[in-house]
Structure 1
Amino acid sequence: MEEELELPYGFAFEDLQLRRDPVSKGFSVMNAALLDEVLAYNGIDPERLRKQPFHLWVCLHATASCYRVHIARGGKPNELMEQLNAGTLHL
């Protein structure tokens, strides 16, 4: 998917609070409520999404889309997202 999500007014990528997961070595979004807000803003029901087997991939796409918009707007690079983009962060 190359389509970018629309971001709610006042959205700040840093507010997603990405953290490296020490067990999986991937990352997690600590502010899941904000990610849910972005999903809902784009017509995706977060509660329904969580019931789907592919929900983690959709959330990953949503996070990546938020990051691309963030960077396009002149935002500061995020180390975890840059590692993901470079293929050095394994999920």
Structure 2
Amino acid sequence: MVRLELWPYVFSIDRLFIDLWLQLIKWLYLITNFILMLLLAVPLYFIAFFGWIVYTALIKKNLKQNMPMFYFGGVFSLIWIVIITIAYI
């Protein structure tokens, strides 16, 4: 009879440990996703920023022959950054 009365407490302790493990797994998953987002997005931010600088420099120098390529690269990088950021949020 004593074992039957103590069983809910044992079950709740086991449940507590399971909940703690699930919380730990969830936080590890979120942290690794955030690190992966930084590893993927930060280089793309630099690429987009560099592309935008080169594009504005080409506009100022009126070099029309290479402008569409740099414009496409900058816009594509910005769109890709937005997609990755939304996907990892």
Q: Same fold (TM over 0.5)?
A: no
Structure number with higher strand proportion: 1
Question: Normalization by structure 1: what TM-score?
Answer: 0.30
